[in-house]
Amino acid sequence: MSLRLSFSIRDSQYQPLARRSGEVFAEQMELRRKRAYDSASPDDGFRVLVDRLWPRGVSKGKAAIDLWAKDTAPSPELRRDWHAAADADWHVYADRYRAQLADESAEALRALAGEARRHPVVTLVYAAHDPERNHAVVLEEALRPLLSAPDETEGPRGDGRAE
């Protein structure tokens, strides 16, 4: 099965279109972000925890996590540096994290994109306090182009097999 997606965030509700088994049409897919400390909702769709550490004080039941993608999270070193940095250094942290996603976390990022393609709504769950300056923002930016590109694990026939 070949999944070719692009994203558009709209105010409208998800409306399924006719599709092949397991395929989500790009026009209907949503990628969201939400803090782990906010209540889970059925509207969140497929919930992916994108932190390397489990959020402090959040039970697994309350978190309602479908996938823990810890290998896409910032490395322990980058995480420590970010927490010690001034807010004005956000761009430095974001650039370092983008480089990590393009290099040592690239395989995990592609795997996350492959799983995300299977769901009409995906929510990236994170524990950081700032909703605009956190790694989930950078991760979302890195995921979007992968979600609109053909799945590299699929063969040219779109069924996982080469011709």
pLDDT (tens digit per residue) in 81-139: 888 878 888 899 999 999 999 999 999 999 999 999 999 999 999 999 999 999 999 99
How far is it, in rounded angstroms, from Cα 16 to Cα 112? 22
11, part of any domain: no
Residue 41 lies in a domain: yes
Q: Print the domain residue range for 52.
A: 26-148
Domain membership flag for residue 61: yes
Handedness of CA 35, 37, 43, 48 (dihedral sign): positive
Q: How far is CA 153 from CA 21, 91, 113, 135, 142, in A?
A: 17, 32, 11, 26, 18
Q: How many domains does the chain have?
A: 1
- Measured CA to CA, the distance from residue 119 to residue 122 in angstroms comes to 6
Q: Which two tokens stand for residue 154?
A: 């699929």
Q: At what angle do helices 106-116 and 90-102 cross, to 10 degrees?
A: 80
Which residue intervals of the chain are DSSP H helices? 60-63, 76-84, 90-102, 106-116, 135-148
> Among 38, 64, 36, 60, which residue's Cα sits nearest to residue 126?
36
The residues facing 122 across adjacent strands are: 31, 46
In a domain, 71, yes or no: yes
Does 112 fall in a domain? Answer: yes
* pLDDT, position 14: 33
> Whole-structure pTM over 0.85, yes or no?
no
